[in-house]
Structure 1
Amino acid sequence: MHSINKMVTAAIAAIVMLVLVSGAGNVWSNRKQAAARDGITRGSVLLRNHMTADMMHDSVRGDVLSILRAANIGDLDLAHSREGLSDDAALLRKSVLADANYGAAPEVAAQARRIQPLVDQYIATADQIAQVATTDKARASALLPRFLTAFEKLEGGMSDLSDRIEAHLVAVRDEAARVAMLANILLAVTTFATLALVLAIGFATRRHVVAPLLLLIDALKGMTSGRMDMAIPSGTRRDELGQLAGATGALRDQLVAAERAKDEQTRLICDSFGTALSQLAQGDLVARVDAELTGPFNQIKQDFNAAVSSLQRTLGSVVTAATSINNGAGDIRQASDDLSQRTEQQAASLEETAAAMDEITTTVRETAAGATQANRIVGEAREEARESGEIVRRAVEAMGGIERASTEIGEIIAVIDGISFQTNLLALNAGVEAARAGDAGKGFAVVASEVRALAQRSADAAKDVKTRITASADQVEEGVRLVGETGEALNRIIQRIADIDGLVASIANSADRQATGLQQVNTAVAEMDGMTQQNAAMVEQTTAAARSLASEADGMTRQIASFRIGSMAAPPAPKPAPAEPAPRRAAAPRARVVGNMALAIDEDDWSSF
């Protein structure tokens, strides 16, 4: 067998065959075990039926004895005993019949059929005793020995049947144990056979497939490390590993050929690029790589040629730009001179503007100070008005207290008036009673009359006081209303003062912000004046830098002229250099006003900034 695929197929077929054999053996053993379990179950049912028959055999005897006892002593449960006899006899016949129909053990069924006549005779004798026991007690007692003889015969037959059932059950258990042992042996044989087959397949696979494959992998690793002289194992085999070894050898030959072609290509690249780079180092920007290259090296060649072409165009542009820079430097120098003169004129104007802004700032600051003072005075007036409003509020509360006290006094007077009325009524009743008493009540009548007079005077006095209190309460209410209106007027005054305070505060804040803004403007103008003077000095420096720039542009043009860039860029002729300007005369010192302070500064001193 010269194919790994066929070997694997044969191994799979052997495993499948062994699995099928093992499955068939398991199915057979399961069927045998199920049959054994079924036999045990049927034997258990047979034993249960026989035990039931044995118990009913004894129960029938007990029922007959109960019937005879009931007949002898006149027991009223004779009918119930006869019903029990009928039920037990029917169950005895049913159990013996089930034993006779048991087909798994012919000897048991034959014995059961042999005792069926004995059962019928036994039950018939019992029924006869039960029938005559109600009419003829002596005859029923005479039938008892024949019944007991039938019982003994049936007892012997039942015992023989029990022995046969027990022997059958022992045979069933032995058969089940034999089947179980046979199933275990079959399971062990199939398990060991499967294990042996798997081990044999694994050993053969390790020896004939895995080990040669590992050697072939080592050869491939050596080839990836650059060792192309390694021997390829398994080259003489005629299976898949032999084909893989042949393909590996072909791959090695291709790699060797590719490495040789790569070396030749590398030499060609080094020669062509070395020549081009040497010419480029000498300033020849017309040089190109003309060798025929393949693969990624062709892209490198194109990139190199494109880079040199771009450099050639860039240097041509640089030549043109250098000439333009040289021409522009002269224009910048002329413009710088004009800018210097205009800057001097602007500096003089800024000096005058700074002085005027300083005076305006001083005036606005004084206005802001006055507004702040007015704001403080208005605030004090507002505080005093608020205190007056608080005093009026307390007066209103005091008047309210007086009004509540007047109301309470009026209530007390009403109580006094009620007491006077009750006293007058009591005095009247006392006078009536004194009149009824005759002479004995005359003195009491006099006292009652005086009490009535006193009650009447108390009522009149209380009414007079109530009238005066009412008039006083009206005046107090009017005073409370007037004081409340006074408080409201003071609140309105306080609100107006608060509005005035807000307006004055807003004016003060605005004046303060204006003073601050003017101070900032003054500072900015002063800084602009200083920066203008500095700009004038920087213009002179710019002019000098423009001259230096023109000189350096000339030098750069001469250096670029050493490169060979072909005819693609023709630099234009530079403009003639402008005439050297006359040196500036030293300006006379002039005064500069900054913040109410005059400083005499020379223009040459400003250039130091």
Structure 2
Amino acid sequence: MRLTIRQRLLLSNVVTLAFVSLIGVVGYIAVQVLDGAIGAISTNSAAMKDQLQADMMHDALRADVLAARLAADKNDPAEVKGVREDLAEHMALFRKGIKDMEAADIDAEVRAAIATVRPDVERYLKNTEEMVELSLTNKDAAQAKFGGFMDSFRALEKSMSALSDLIEKNSESAKQVGDSAVANSRYQIIGFSLLAVLVALVIGQLITRSIMQPLNEAVGFAERVSKGDLSGSMTLDAADISETGLLKRALADMNTSLHGIVSQVRGGTDAIALASSEIASGNMDLSSRTESQASSLEETASSMEELTSAVKQNSHNAGQANELASSAAKVAGEGGAVMTRVVETMGAINASSQKIVDIIGVIEGIAFQTNILALNAAVEAARAGEQGRGFAVVASEVRSLAHRSDSAAKEIKQLIDASVAQVEAGGVLVGQAGGTMDQIVNGISRVSTIVGEIATASREQELGIEQINQAIGSIDSTTQQNAALVEQAAAAAGALQAQADQLAEAVKVFRLAR
């Protein structure tokens, strides 16, 4: 077969689509004709409606003439006004009806008939307007022209009736065209549909036969292969590019491949049985060694747990030592600060002592000057003789007081000097104590830093040992799983040996070509 199944099915679909398209075209043409007919009927209906309105206004205008004659007899102004308003309204509606018919998309014959009627309409409207005015103003003249008015009424009535008949005729003609198109389309669609069904059946039968015949041959060949008969062959056509041809070639290739595979399987089953026996023996040895390794790993894991516990305790102790060293460093820092303030205070005391020494010096100067003044006063009193005796006594007392002040000032100065010396010595000692305290603070800080590093290292060591412990546990679990897997592999090897024996028995079923 030169065509594939896809191409055959595509050809069938193309033929079917061609008939469907043809039926669609026939239906479309019928719809277009019917749409034109419906449009013509709709247009004629609208024209008929306008014609009926014009015809009603035709009668209404005659009624307006009669109403004007009656209103003139009653001589009622209100009624006269109403007659004039009705006349204007009816004339406008009459003209609108004729104008709407002309504006519609009507047949040329109807348009010509409307053009013929229009002069009669205008004449009638003019006569009606004159008759109404004469009826309201001059009854005798109106009576004289009433006969001519009725003649124009009857002439227009005849023209309007002919126009109505023509519109109805066109509507009926459009309806007949639509009915004819529908009937013709119905017969055409039925005929093409029957032809399409017949062609589809023929093409379907041919395609089915071209597909089923090679498929039945392929199915029979596949059934023989499924029963173990690999000695058969299949007729092949190199020019057949269809899917069934490809299937037959694939089945033939499969038969050839199965023939080679079965031959190889028969030759390899003994080797598989021997190899599976050796695998089972090796798995048993591996299982024994794996169990021994698992026991060793359990002991290692126990030792690592003890080591982990000791490292945790060391880490905990290092943490406490770090906290104590930090506290000691804080206290030493506070002591250093206190010693610094003591040194500053001793310096202030030393400065105050120096100021006191200066003041004592001033006092000694004052005492010395006082003594000189007293001495001068005594000399002057001695020169004065009897008159200066009392003054000499006072000068002597002042001189005595000056000596005592000088002695007291010297003693105070000696005490202050001793105090300043002691304060300076104390300041030196306090400075030395402050330096020592700074060294202590620095030492404690270094100790705290070292203890913190030890604590950090202990924590890292603890984490590392825990990871090692977890890894050993994982290795232990893996080793135990490996032991179980080895046992399973040993069992699988035994099962493989049994299956190899079964496979050898199974391939004996196939019949190979000699």
Query: What TM-score comes out, normalization by structure 1 length?
Result: 0.43
Matched residues in 2 for 1:38 and 1:297: separation?
93
For residue 306 of structure 1, the aligned residue among 263, 282, 289 is 282
Identity rate of aligned residues, in percent? Answer: 21
* Contact map agreement 1:234 1:245 (CA 8 A) in 2: yes
> Is residue 2:229 matched to residue 1:253?
no
Q: 1:77 to 1:299 in 2, by over 3 A?
A: farther
SS of 1:3's partner is coil
Q: 1:298 to 1:77 in 2, by over 3 A?
A: farther
SS of 1:134's partner is helix
Q: How does 1:403-552 map to 2 (within 5 A)?
A: none
Q: 1:97 to 1:309 in 2, by over 3 A?
A: closer
SS of 2:137's partner is coil
**What code does the residue aligned with 2:39 have?**
D
* Contact map agreement 1:18 1:194 (CA 8 A) in 2: yes
Q: 1:310 to 1:100 in 2, by over 3 A?
A: closer
Between structures 1 and 2, the one with greater helix share: 2
2:37 is matched with which residue?
36
* Contact map agreement 1:3 1:239 (CA 8 A) in 2: yes
1:527 is matched with which residue?
none
> Is residue 2:48 matched to residue 1:51?
no
Q: 1:226 to 1:66 in 2, by over 3 A?
A: same
**What code does the residue aligned with 1:300 have?**
S
1:13 is matched with which residue?
14
* Contact map agreement 2:225 2:255 (CA 8 A) in 1: yes
* Contact map agreement 2:38 2:175 (CA 8 A) in 1: no
2:100 is matched with which residue?
98
**What code does the residue aligned with 1:71 have?**
A
Count residues with an aligned counterpart.
Answer: 287
What is the deviation of 1:146?
Answer: 1.1
> Is residue 2:266 matched to residue 1:263?
yes
* Contact map agreement 2:214 2:245 (CA 8 A) in 1: no
Gaps of 5+ in 2: 293-514
Matched residues in 2 for 1:235 and 1:298: separation?
46
Q: Deviations 1:224-283 (Å, cap 9, x if unpaired)?
A: 2212244536657613222221221121122122222322334xx1xxxxxxxxxxxxxx
Q: How does 1:119-268 map to 2 (within 5 A)?
A: 119-232=121-234, 238-240=240-242, 241-266=244-269
* RMSD (Å) for aligned C-alpha atoms: 2.8
What is the deviation of 1:48?
Answer: 0.9
Q: How does 1:259-408 map to 2 (within 5 A)?
A: 259-266=262-269, 269=270, 293=271, 300-306=276-282
What is the deviation of 1:49?
Answer: 1.2
**What code does the residue aligned with 1:12 have?**
N
SS of 2:252's partner is helix
Matched residues in 1 for 2:45 and 2:39: separation?
10
Q: 1:66 to 1:308 in 2, by over 3 A?
A: closer
Matched residues in 2 for 1:177 and 1:24: separation?
18
* Contact map agreement 2:43 2:105 (CA 8 A) in 1: no
2:2 is matched with which residue?
2
Q: 1:72 to 1:223 in 2, by over 3 A?
A: same
**What code does the residue aligned with 1:2 have?**
R
Matched residues in 2 for 1:49 and 1:230: separation?
91
What is the deviation of 1:192?
Answer: 3.0
Q: 1:129 to 1:223 in 2, by over 3 A?
A: same
Q: 1:11 to 1:234 in 2, by over 3 A?
A: farther
Matched residues in 1 for 2:278 and 2:68: separation?
132
Q: 1:299 to 1:28 in 2, by over 3 A?
A: farther
SS of 2:93's partner is helix
* Contact map agreement 2:110 2:163 (CA 8 A) in 1: yes
Matched residues in 2 for 1:133 and 1:225: separation?
119
What is the deviation of 1:154?
Answer: 0.9
What is the deviation of 1:55?
Answer: 1.2
Q: 1:119 to 1:305 in 2, by over 3 A?
A: same
Q: 1:220 to 1:237 in 2, by over 3 A?
A: farther
Q: 1:261 to 1:130 in 2, by over 3 A?
A: same
Q: Deviations 1:500-551 (Å, cap 9, x if unpaired)?
A: xxxxxxxxxxxxxxxxxxxxxxxxxxxxxxxxxxxxxxxxxxxxxxxxxxxx
1:374 is matched with which residue?
none
* Contact map agreement 2:30 2:185 (CA 8 A) in 1: yes
* Contact map agreement 1:97 1:112 (CA 8 A) in 2: no
**What code does the residue aligned with 1:21 have?**
L
Gaps of 5+ in 1: 270-292, 318-609
* Contact map agreement 1:235 1:242 (CA 8 A) in 2: yes
Q: 1:194 to 1:299 in 2, by over 3 A?
A: farther
1:285 is matched with which residue?
none
Matched residues in 1 for 2:42 and 2:274: separation?
93
What is the deviation of 1:58?
Answer: 0.9
Matched residues in 1 for 2:101 and 2:27: separation?
34
Matched residues in 2 for 1:121 and 1:151: separation?
9
Q: 1:190 to 1:297 in 2, by over 3 A?
A: farther
What is the deviation of 1:47?
Answer: 1.2
**What code does the residue aligned with 2:82 have?**
H
SS of 1:143's partner is helix
Query: What TM-score comes out, normalization by structure 2 length?
Result: 0.51
Matched residues in 2 for 1:63 and 1:22: separation?
60
* Contact map agreement 2:124 2:156 (CA 8 A) in 1: yes
* Contact map agreement 1:235 1:245 (CA 8 A) in 2: no
Matched residues in 2 for 1:298 and 1:44: separation?
104
Deviating beyond 6 angstroms after TM superposition, the runs of 4 or more aligned structure 1 residues are: none
1:84 is matched with which residue?
86
What is the deviation of 1:44?
Answer: 0.8
